[in-house]
Amino acid sequence: MRSSGTGSHAPFAPDISRRSPESVSFEEAWEAAREGRDVPPRSAIDLRRFAPFARWFAIIEPDPHAVALPFRLTGSGFREFFGHDLTGIDYLTLADPSIRQLAYDCVMACLKSPCGLWQATPATTADGGSILYEYTILPIAKAGGAPDHIVIFVNFEMKPTDDLPGLRQIEHSTVWHWLDIGFGVPPAHVGQAPFG
């Protein structure tokens, strides 16, 4: 795991040193699925390696021709949290409108470099509260060639219970860091584009 920090957007925000063991384990599972390739093919993203993350795991297929990040696969935690399956839903419709282009640009940078991204992001709940959660995103390839999808593991600070709070909107990241997977990280100006 090679990490490169690029900045934060709030004073006293958590930094990469506060990255959870679950996030690191997710990257290690991704690395094992790589098997010497630049990025793992989607076929290598299986329950044998990713079972511990399955509940809060998603695959997104960015649209290269439009600002859209549709979910292609989501874990059961997302269905419980949102009350319906997110497959086919554009992630960006869940985000604050002011960060949608930035989030899209960041994902496209992860595919182009390729690299990963770790971040801490607050979300406003339906009842007006706030949840801090951790994103770990890494690139994969649908057909085993160039990266064209991302895998995401979301780790909630407030562990979801049977009484999930519902989500109103995903806010701007409080801190984020590119994850260098061996090909470097995007230039600093792209670093101004956190995923959420």
Whether 134 is in a domain gets the answer yes
pLDDT at 161: 43
User: How far is the C-alpha of 38 from the C-alpha of 190, rounded, in Å?
Assistant: 21
pLDDT at 192: 54
Of residues 126 and 140, more confidently modeled: 140
In the chain, what percentage of residues exceed pLDDT 90?
49
pLDDT at 126: 64
User: How far is the C-alpha of 103 from the C-alpha of 34, rounded, in Å?
Assistant: 25
Radius of gyration of the chain (CA): 15
Task: Specify the residue for token string 């930094």.
Answer: 15
pLDDT at 155: 85
Whether 72 is in a domain gets the answer yes
Report pLDDT digits (tens) over 92-131: 988 778 888 988 999 999 999 999 999 877 666 666 666 6
pLDDT-derived band at 182 (thresholds 50, 70, 90) equals very high
Q: Provide the 8-state DSSP code for 185.
A: -
- Cα angle 15, 42, 63 (rounded to 5 degrees) comes to 75
**pLDDT higher than threshold 70 for residue 70:** yes
Whether 191 is in a domain gets the answer no
pLDDT at 11: 30
Check which CATH number belongs to the domain holding 102 and give it. Answer: 3.30.450.20
Whether 48 is in a domain gets the answer yes
pLDDT at 68: 97
DSSP notation for 31-94: HHHHTTSSS-BGGG--HHHHGGGGGGEEEE---TTSS--BEEEE-HHHHHHHSS--TT-BGGGG
What average pLDDT does range 123-151 have in this prediction? 83
Low-confidence winner among 5-9, 49-53, 112-116, 182-186 (lowest mean pLDDT):
5-9
pLDDT at 61: 97
Whether 196 is in a domain gets the answer no
For the chain, the domain total comes to 1
Average pLDDT, the chain: 79
Q: Is the distance from CB of 76 to CB of 56 less than 8 angstroms?
A: no
Whether 140 is in a domain gets the answer yes
Whether 69 is in a domain gets the answer yes
Structure tokens at 69: 């990040």
* Burial (0-12, 13-18, 19+ Cβ within 10 Å), 95: buried
Report pLDDT digits (tens) over 161-173: 444 445 544 544 5
Range of the domain at 35: 2-8+15-181
DSSP notation for 113-173: TT-EEEEEEEEEETTS-EEEEEEEEEEEBSSSSS--EEEEEEEESS---SS---EEEE---
Report pLDDT digits (tens) over 15-51: 566 788 999 999 999 999 999 999 999 999 998 899 9
